[in-house]
Amino acid sequence: MSQSLLMPKATAVWLVDNTALSFEQIAAFCTLHPLEVQGIADGDVASGIMGVNPIQNGQLTREEIEKAEADPNYRMKVSEPKVRVAAVKRKGPRYTPISRRNERPNAIKWLVRNHPELKDAQIMRLVGTTKSTIESVRENTHWNSANLTAMDPVTLGLCSQIDLDLEVKRASKDAPAQSELHEGTTLLTAEEALARAGGRSSYEAEEGFEGEDRAPAQPADSDIDADSVFAKLKSLKSDSTDEE
């Protein structure tokens, strides 16, 4: 998994001052525009920012820098952290930035439409809203319901895709299982249908046959007596000779 760079502009300042990397290489590593890196080199951009050494904070190695200096087409990669800090579990509703708070009704409308199995408490955790707001959006009594547009909360930056998938998975587990198909929708074989009917088949009913009068069928794999067959053939041959 790729790591995000800490203080990209300060890192770009240090790389410009202490390495022979091209503007394109620094821009690709610091996720900046090449013209912005050129402005840093000219002193027009980030003039008051002190450079940060990415080697000291463990986000870049000296070998990676030397490899990039030898090859202008090489793009440096952020080093994997040696120590991973466990994420702090969030308690209470999610904090929503002020610039995104007016988008919460649109996100609620999207969640209610696309994931009706979600409970109000789950939507509150995802979007950071209140139960009254959810009810007003669901019942179309929101003061701005005429202008609301269903928008994905992940796209709006109100929650992550992992959190959304987790809440949907929890809701699907709590949902009742679907009822099985009715027995009438399953096709039955002829033997099963005849056994359930408990009587004659339709063919027998039309022809007037009774089950007791029918001769039992010979099994396909029954043994054939060869002597009896040859005896019958001889008798038929002798009968035809006498007639002549």
Per-residue pLDDT for 219 more than 80? no
Per-residue pLDDT for 132 more than 60? yes
pLDDT at 205: 47
Lowest mean pLDDT among 51-65, 206-220, 228-242: 206-220
Boundaries of every domain in the chain: 8-70, 98-172
* Cα distance between residue 128 and residue 135, in whole Å: 14
**Model confidence pLDDT, tens digit, residues 161-182:** 888 999 999 888 876 554 444 4
pTM for the predicted model, two decimal places:
0.38
**Helical residues (DSSP H) of the chain, grouped into ranges:** 8-18, 23-30, 34-42, 62-70, 104-114, 120-127, 131-138, 153-156, 161-174, 190-197, 202-207, 226-243
Side chain identity at 244, as an amino acid letter?
E
Q: 122 and 171 in contact (C-beta within 8 Å)?
A: yes
pLDDT at 120: 92
